[in-house]
Each structure stands twice: as C-alpha cells, then as structure tokens.
C-alpha cells in the first residue's frame, strides 16, 4: 500500500517507485547519439566539492542529467532549492519522493555564494514540488533572487518553478515582483500522457501559469520544455507548440526522455537527431524567439548562451518593428 502522509492539512498517498511500474524491466540500450562520457575532470570535482560545502542540492545530480560532466567541468550547476525531496511522484523523474525536511533559511545566501564562487554570468534555480508549504515554496524563490541580486548583481537569473498547485496565482505574482530574467516552467509532455507521466499536475494549469507571467510582466522571458520518446504522436507535439505560442512563451526546449531506473516509465522511442531538427524547424516557424531541440537538450543546458541569444532575438524583433 502507498504510504499516507499529511501535506497541507490533508492526507496524501505517496507512491513507492516500485508502484509506478510494478514490473522491473531492464533499461534499453541507448543509441550512439545519446551516449556521454563519465565525468572525470578537475572542474567537475571542484564543482561537486563546492555544492557539498554549501549544502546545496542540484538537479544535475538528483535528476541524473546526462550533461552533468560537461556542465560541471565548465563550473555551471543548476541549484535545486527547497531540499532534495519532492511531494510528487512523477513517472519520469529521478528525484526522491517523500515528506521533505523544513526549509533551510541559509539556502538563499548559500546559492548566491555558489554563484559568486563559480563566477556565473547566468544561473538557473529550480526546486522540488513542495505541496506541504502554504505558498508552495514561492517565498524561497524570492529570497534566492534577492540574495543573488545583493551578492552577484551582474548575474542574470533564470528560475524553473513547479506548478504551485492550488496556489499558482499568488505564488507566481510574488515571484514576478522579484523580477527574474527568465521564468521557466516545463509542460514536460503532451496532455494525453499526463495521467501516467505527470499525474500530480494539470496541463492547462501549467499553461495558465506561464501565460500569467507574461500578463503581469511582458519583459520577463518565458520558457518551457517537453520530453519526447514517451509515446507521444508528432501532431500532439505540434499542438503543444501551438498552445505554448498562445500563452506567448518565448523559448521552447525539447529533449529525449531517458529512463532513470528500470522502475520509471519506459522509453517508447529514441527520437533521431534528424527528427529533432524537424521539430525545431516547425517550432521556429510558429514564432518562438528561440528553440533548442536535440536528444541531450535539457532545461538548463547551455542556458547562459541561450539567454544571450534570446535577448538578441528580442532586440532584433523590436528593431524590425520600429
């Protein structure tokens, strides 16, 4: 039976990973285009040491990102605030599920200290879902943004938030007032697959969240990502693109879903680089300011370079309109 815990004054059943898929299957062999080398560099070791010294979690580690070796070698790390334990149990995600610990009051300043020590020009901050907190953790995002502005004011800030289920309007407004440079929230997959892949979330609620960012402050860039290879149909992906553009989302990221353990959702298909290129061409034609689509693309992969490209694309668009 699932374990029952009290979250936000109600009883929630957290599924053990073996209940997501009771049959343990061997992981599929990855094609050549998606294999990466094991991280061994000095830069990687130094980044890891810094994260441990400051007691910071990273999505790079917790979500088993395939790009961790490349990014950490360059001393680019994506900090995951609000701890390392999520109150959801999504079938694609490797972050552990359970009852989280109390929010660490030192986490905002430690995040800013890490950005300063790494010399980051652009930082991505994400978090676990915290359905147990009255504001879903929005106030911690605000504190992190404020700490970064004080400590390393030249660093541009990108946040990747959860959906703040049942708290979205007030939570998002609070974060918008802190003025991050980029507001990212991933749709993850097509609506049809939500019940099995992202059961704790609602597709249209996520779209409305992103739409509300633009409505409150059009100057903030908005960004969202989807995984492919979960059994989605091509036209379903095209419809997600249309939905994103209807919400005025600036930047689309697309990457290959990889099964983190045999107990997670199985890979239905390894999408070829050529198919990613075709998706990217269609997305650009639909009007996104920027599109990143490749097997290894992830939300924060090359985020700093992409932010510079997105800002330049907006400036060129405004210049052309004048």
DSSP 256-279: E---SSTTSPPP-----HHHHHHH
d(CA 287, CA 319): 16
d(CA 128, CA 189): 18
The Cβ-side half-sphere exposure at 124, using a 13 Å CA radius, reads 24
d(CA 230, CA 228): 6
Q: Where are the alpha helices (DSSP H) in 87-191?
A: 107-118, 138-151, 168-177
- Selection from 108, 65, 79, 88 nearest residue 7 by Cα: 88
Which DSSP letter does residue 188 get? B
292 C-beta neighbours (distance < 10 Å), count:
25
Q: Where are the alpha helices (DSSP H) in 152-233?
A: 168-177, 194-197, 203-216
Tokens of 172: 């998002």
- Say what the pLDDT of residue 315 is: 94
Q: Over the stretch 64-118, which tens digit does the pLDDT of each residue have?
A: 777 777 787 777 888 999 999 999 999 999 898 999 999 999 999 999 999 999 9
- Say what the pLDDT of residue 28 is: 62
d(CA 316, CA 263): 46
Q: Which residues of the chain have pLDDT under 50?
A: 1-2, 11-26
- Say what the pLDDT of residue 3 is: 52
- Say what the pLDDT of residue 25 is: 46
């Amino acid at each position: 039976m699932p374990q029952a815990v009290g979250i936000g004054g109600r009883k929630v059943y957290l599924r053990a990973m073996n209940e997501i898929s009771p049959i343990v299957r061997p992981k599929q062999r990855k094609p050549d285009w998606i294999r990466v080398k094991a991280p061994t560099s000095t830069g990687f070791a130094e980044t890891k040491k810094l994260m441990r010294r400051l007691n910071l979690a990273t999505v790079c580690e917790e979500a088993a990102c395939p790009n961790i070796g490349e990014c950490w070698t360059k001393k680019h790390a994506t900090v995951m605030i609000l701890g390392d334990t999520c109150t959801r149990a999504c079938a694609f995600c490797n972050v552990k599920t359970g009852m989280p610990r109390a929010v660490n009051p030192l986490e905002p300043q430690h995040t800013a200290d890490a950005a300063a020590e790494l010399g980051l020009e652009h930082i991505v901050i994400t978090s676990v879902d915290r359905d147990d907190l009255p504001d879903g953790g929005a106030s911690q995002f605000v504190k992190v943004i404020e700490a970064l502005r004080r400590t390393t004011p030249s660093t541009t800030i990108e946040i990747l938030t959860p959906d703040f289920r049942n708290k979205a309007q007030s939570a998002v407004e609070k974060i918008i007032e802190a003025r991050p440079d980029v507001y990212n929230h991933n749709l993850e997959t097509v609506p049809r697959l939500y019940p099995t892949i992202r059961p704790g979330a609602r597709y249209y609620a996520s779209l409305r969240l992103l739409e509300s960012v633009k409505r409150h402050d059009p100057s903030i860039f908005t960004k969202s990502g989807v995984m492919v290879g979960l059994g989605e149909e091509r036209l379903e992906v095209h419809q997600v693109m249309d939905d994103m553009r209807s919400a005025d989302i600036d930047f689309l990221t697309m990457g290959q879903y990889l099964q983190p353990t045999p107990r997670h959702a199985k890979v239905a298909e390894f999408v070829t680089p050529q198919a990613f290129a075709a998706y990217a061409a269609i997305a650009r034609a639909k009007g996104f300011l920027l599109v990143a689509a490749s097997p290894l693309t992830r939300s924060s992969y090359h985020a700093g370079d992409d932010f510079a490209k997105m800002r330049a694309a907006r400036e060129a668009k405004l210049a052309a309109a004048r």
